[in-house]
Chain A
Amino acid sequence: MSIHPSILECRSVGKVYSAQVRGAGTLGILRGFVRRQVREHVALANIDLAVAPGEIVGLIGANGAGKTTLVKCLTGIIPASSGRCELFGHDAFALTRADKRRLSLVMGQRSQLWWDIPAIDSFRLLREIYQVDAARFERRVREQAERLDVTDRLQVQLRQLSLGERMKMEIIGAFLHDPEVVFLDEPTIGLDLLSQETIRTFLREVNRERRTTVILTSHDMADIEETCDRLVILEAGRILFDGDLVGLRRRFVGRRAVEVHLEANSRPWSAELDGELERFGAVLVREAPRALTFEVDAEHCQPFIQHLFDLFQVRDLAVERQPLENLIREIFRTGELVEAS
């Protein structure tokens, strides 16, 4: 996808980490003690990416796919081993102070705020660091705290807040200086559904109102589906897919996993029922004595479920989005890789 002008851009970016390899057992440890073995790990390879102002880009991939490394390269935390990462038209690893005032980073697993004091105290220091004037600071803290429903928690020591409240405070801190680009690395990890939804709504609203560019990494497809317009799938350090989320959703994400638990007196699954699946484009993916899991397009999901009740004595039923891993496997399998880059 070639978009100009870009607020951030990667050109043939690669990142290689060196990691020590140690043998197993006492002998392996002793060997490693005498002679270190270092193995290179390619975290990113030949990444080309351009993001326009105001876009919300979802960055997904399995563990170790290179999402966080890419975010770190783009924010200038680590240098790329090859290629060039640019943010605001400058080398990302040599950002000026003025550039840094235009960006923000939220790491879901690493608190940006100080653990032992209330969030409002950390916000006050951020206000000075980012040179936010007092009136604007007060207004933004109030507005954002109201939107995220944590107004009465601002004065509470961070360690005494729930995980969801802490993440909301992180987000308030990240948006305090009205950044042009915000990187969020798994912001909803471990949160309850309500907190996740509040954060997604907040991100969508801020993007709409201020045209803030958002780069969001997540393992949760719901984060991506409900927040992003564009999706980048990383696998083993390479871009597997970069394109419009609507198209992808139509092709892959629109699949649902339907898990059916049968009563003891229900008819069991048998091969002659295959024909019943074809009508709905469903596929049996897992079969246990009294539990069946099917995959079906979202649009056929409802009639398919109704038909399942006609076929079986259903004790329980669950419908889930297709897991991310299945999605990636499906994209691999079908060979529909790079839509655009």
Chain B
Amino acid sequence: MSRARALAASLPEELHLLPYVAAYEWRKATAFRAGFVLNALLRGVPRPVVMTLVYLAMFRSTGAAEIRGYTFVDLVHFLVWTAAIQKCIPDWRSLDLAEQIFDGYVTKYLVMPVSYFTLLWGRFLQFTAVQLLAAAAFWCAGALVLHSWWPQPVSAVALAQAATLLALGTGCYLLTYFILNCLAFWLDVVWSLLNMFMFVAAFMSGMLVPVALMPRAVRGVLEVTFPYWTVNAPVELLLGRLGPADFRFGLAVLATSFVALHGLAFVTWRRGLRRYAGVGT
């Protein structure tokens, strides 16, 4: 109870710090121009390009006009939206916590009067702001070049709904990566786990193949997970394939996931710290 009260009392301070942490992270992110361009601007672009070629080959070889209601153009539109959305989703490189735990660099944060979660959310804020701009630039550039062929959101409401799901979903992704990074307190195979999760999450989110093309049983499972509601569902909202009832259900799934992951992240961090020995014992 006293811990909860202390957390609540420190909240204004932590919120005050957020923009400063975000600004600091911005300076770190832009320290190297090539790295910034590669990480921020080109993020999420190669996969849809490759998948477009894969779909093209599939349609050409089978001669089919559509697969489960998706024409080739529908699939390309789907990929364009997933590319824009993927830009906003943190990946395993977004956090270097596991590395800091292994090398003992996390020590410095433990003596500071700041919650590590503030640093985490500050980084998230900076990342999201930059990536939203990059995603908007990507979409605008496509619209300028390809005009009416380029996918448009079916409505402003759908855009707002998709953005809401995306905001909550990216938070879930960040917390999941945080939890996996925290396993470095116990394990030395964190990078393998992060890679595995990234691949599985790409499948679950529909980044590889739209979930609508998967068997019903698989769809049923994926529709109660946060990756689906972070990528696939917002794209289908933008394409007009999902409606307000789906949005409400997705919001509930994401909100529940967010709260559960936040709790798990907090517990993992606290327990991990009790095991932490740093380096140089």
A residues with CB within 8 A of B: 17, 43, 68-69, 72, 75-79, 96-98, 100-101, 103-105, 107, 109-112, 114, 116-117, 121-122, 124-125, 128-130, 157, 185
Contact = CB atoms under 8 A, between A and B. Distances in A.
Contacts, number: 78
Contact of A105 (B24, B111, B274): B111
Contacts of B111: 75-77, 100, 103-105
Interface in B1-42: 6, 10, 13, 16-17, 20-21, 24, 27-28, 31-32
A264 B103 CA distance: 51
Contacts of B105: 110-111
Interface centre among A79, A111, A128 (most CB of B within 10 A): A128
A105 B280 contact: no
A125 B109 CA distance: 12
A118 to B, nearest CB: 9
Interface size classification for chain B: 20 to 34
A185 B281 CA distance: 12
Contacts of A110: 103-105, 107-108, 279-280
A125 B20 contact: yes
A100 B277 contact: no
Given A75-B111, A77-B110, A121 B274 contact: no
Nearest to B104: A110
28 contacts: A17-B277, A68-B280, A68-B281, A72-B107, A72-B278, A72-B281, A75-B110, A75-B111, A77-B107, A77-B276, A98-B113, A101-B113, A109-B279, A109-B280, A110-B103, A110-B107, A110-B108, A114-B24, A116-B32, A117-B27, A117-B28, A121-B24, A124-B20, A124-B24, A128-B16, A128-B20, A129-B112, A157-B31
B114 interface: yes
Given A110-B280, A157-B31, 8 more contacts: A68-B278, A97-B13, A97-B113, A105-B107, A107-B280, A110-B103, A110-B104, A185-B280
A129 B114 contact: yes
Interface of B: 6, 10, 13, 16-17, 20-21, 24, 27-28, 31-32, 103-105, 107-108, 110-114, 274, 276-281
A333 B17 CA distance: 55
Nearest to B110: A77
Nearest to B280: A68
B108 A105 contact: yes
A76 B274 contact: no
A125 B21 contact: yes
B185 to A, nearest CB: 12
Contacts of A125: 20-21, 24
B17 A129 contact: yes
